[in-house]
Structure 1
């Protein structure tokens, strides 16, 4: 299905490097991207992963059937950036996958930020640590995202560094540097969330957004994106059904202290419990 998708030209693609994994050694990654706090698109980083072969047709062969919490609302927005409210329904995983394969869902649906460790024993069999992670790096968790077209995660930043892997289908990602925060109008209650609808910004209400610099690109199967802590990102499922995996990690003892500067402990607690509560 992905091969038939028409991808448009997006703004700011030249502002982010796209390199094959063979061209980015762990040393180069640290020197050129991690320490300077620069995002990077890496091609081929998931080659050889079992998860790299996952599709809607075979996912149930790897993940045992279980009840999952699925976001579903007509707007397709994962949660309301003002109130943090969202709609969700519980259903068996096999039923959800059938809805996506058949196209029988009446609204956009999203199995969002579901901790793989809660779904399958030893998830590292399917999603191993990247060579870019040191032994001392603290791997917080690996999450799976399975959704339909018409979805979007509001613009936000994470307190941890993020490797975002596209497994199946496509997604459109828009990044903003931490320096653009003022133009993104952080939610006063949860400053890690932007009040701006990046897809349709209201410039009368948020005039400074016009001075922010978006970096927009599309990820396809086999693409991975390094999103440093503190970088704002808006993720849209614009084209087709899709599967993504992200890995959060902390590297506290380094010259890169974005995660320490951007998210104090109180906000970390609020973010984890109010923004994207994981399925239990």
Structure 2
């Protein structure tokens, strides 16, 4: 990188201030700058200038608060690890009262079994069923995901409308791919042509609003190999697996600093193949794992990070209208 030897570019000044404020050592910072082509004398002068600047003193104060919160979260993580926090519980015949007390208000994920036994979808749903009853319906899917590492955050770039039958033909090809996927960020449930699919579902009694209106759920459908990258939702979610299997990994909300967040709700870490050299703190994360079989549900607490990969052709639904006073709990972004 050919830097002007008399001036450090603004993006490098920002990088310098951020890393010094977060406690990165001077020698390490200097090595990175020199390795990027910055003159050693200029790098040293810039570090000294940054340290003396009043704005940097304010950054240090913010960083101290940030570090204190991270330390508190580390303590909380250690306490939770001794209270079952490193185990993903699997429950059957769970009462609504215990679900809300231990899991919803306890901010714990849980795999729930037996809540979908009365779902017609478990017997009816298949690619052939979709094609026979809904083939001509125009649906929205995300296409060209493989070409964009940021496809999840930049989902609007990938929106494509097509007849449901055309999308089903791609899924039926048997190809394992992440290139095309019907994800929750669409209006397919609200589409008049697919509305009758909701009749194949049942709201888990005592947990979810039984009216199951179109804006109360989402549909996910795609081939084996589809990946939802590590991210968190800003509200509690109940995900039900109808067709196929999905591999799920979860990381607690209070271990945010261990997943290298970016773009607010996404992570730099590839949870399928984490690079611990680039992201060493992820080695300390409490990663909870499960494989969802058809008929399984998993509760994803607000703010909990999750990564999901379809092992087979897969169809899932999600719910977010829980039967609690005041409605679902939401995480409001600070900025």
- Shorter-normalised TM-score: what interval? 0.7 to 0.9
Deviation at 1:90, TM superposition (A): 2.8
User: 1:181-211 CA distances to partner (integer Å, 9 max, x unpaired)?
Assistant: 1011111xx3111121111222232221111
Unaligned runs of 5+ in 1: 1-11, 268-280
User: 1:134-174 CA distances to partner (integer Å, 9 max, x unpaired)?
Assistant: 66999852111111122211111111211111111111000
Deviation at 1:123, TM superposition (A): 5.5
- How well do the aligned residues superpose, as a CA RMSD in angstroms? 3.3
1:67 matches 2:138: yes
Cα separation, 1, equivalents of 2:235 and 2:211? 11
TM-score between both structures, scaled by the size of structure 2: 0.64
Q: 2:303 aligns with which of 230, 251, 257?
A: 230
Query: Which has the larger share of strand?
Result: 1
Cα separation, 1, equivalents of 2:94 and 2:231? 27
Contact 1:13 1:216 in 2 (8 A): no
Q: 2:248 aligns with which of 173, 195, 202?
A: 173
Q: 1:38 aligns with which of 108, 118, 132?
A: 108
1:248 matches 2:323: no
The number of residues matched between the two structures is: 247
Helix, strand or coil: the match of 1:100?
helix
User: 1:255-274 CA distances to partner (integer Å, 9 max, x unpaired)?
Assistant: x99x44x333x77xxxxxxx
Instruction: Tell me the equivalent position of 1:193.
Output: 266
Query: Which has the larger share of helix?
Result: 2
Distance 1:123 1:98, change over 3 A: closer
Helix, strand or coil: the match of 1:217?
strand
Deviation at 1:57, TM superposition (A): 1.6
Unaligned runs of 5+ in 2: 1-83
TM-score between both structures, scaled by the size of structure 1: 0.75
Deviation at 1:88, TM superposition (A): 4.6
1:208 matches 2:278: no
User: 1:11-66 CA distances to partner (integer Å, 9 max, x unpaired)?
Assistant: x997111122xx20111211221121111111121111122231112123454632
Higher CA-based Rg? 2
Whose relative contact order is higher, 1 or 2, with alpha carbons under 8 Å and at least 6 apart?
A: 1
Cα separation, 2, equivalents of 1:88 and 1:105? 20
Contact 1:164 1:227 in 2 (8 A): yes
